[in-house]
Amino acid sequence: MTKQKGSVLGFHPAAYGFGWVLFESNQMLLDWGTFDAQGRANASCLQKLETILEKYRPKTLVIEAFDDARSKRHDRVKALCRDVIRDAKARKIETRVVSRDRIAAALGAPSYSSREQIAEIVAGLVDALQPELPRHRQVWEGERWGLAMFSAAACVLASQPK
């Protein structure tokens, strides 16, 4: 157990897993990664997240808004997000949900910015993540897997009190 005093965990679900980042008080990046669920996505994701929560014991968990009318997330991903928040609250971890508009505004990006554009901004702000930035995708390719980690970081950066 490596409890991080005041640490903030960013969580971002992806099609087949999730990306996460751990900051100390929203400023210093402590750890980060992605998880590929392969198979029973929600159960595997929750089990892996439980391991991360147990190891780091963050004070706060931040996630992007997932349940509003504009959300294009699959019902399975919405259920995963609800379960993640429920589990965090059961562990007495403060939870914050931030909107895409707030993320864009906090990073100085237009509200219509793509995840790839947000990732580029985050990589410019968080030096340790620069080598992790996925290459630009071609129009015929799907979203890059590693973007989930950058979206998690963007959530944490946007959740900072003003």
Domain contains 1: no
Q: Which domain holds residue 18?
A: 7-158
Domain contains 46: yes
Domain contains 119: yes
Structure token digits, residue 162: 């003003």
Domain contains 81: yes
Number of domains in the chain: 1
Three-state secondary-structure class, residue 156: helix
CATH number at residue 35: 3.30.420.10
**Prediction pTM value:** 0.86
How far from chain centre, in Å, is Cα 29? 13
Helices 147-158 and 115-125: crossing angle in degrees, nearest 10, is 70
Percent of the chain with pLDDT over 70: 85
Following DSSP, what letter does each residue of 55-118 receive, concatenated? HH--SEEEEE--SSTT----HHHHHHHHHHHHHHHHTT-EEEEE-HHHHHHHHT--TT--HHHH
Residue 135: predicted pLDDT: 65
Q: For residue range 11-34, what is the model confidence (pLDDT) as tens digits?
A: 999 878 899 999 997 578 899 999
CA separation for the pair 80, 162 (Å, rounded): 29
Domain contains 21: yes
* H or E, element range at 7: strand 7-14
Residue 140: predicted pLDDT: 46
Domain contains 72: yes
Q: How large is the average pLDDT for residues 103-117?
A: 85
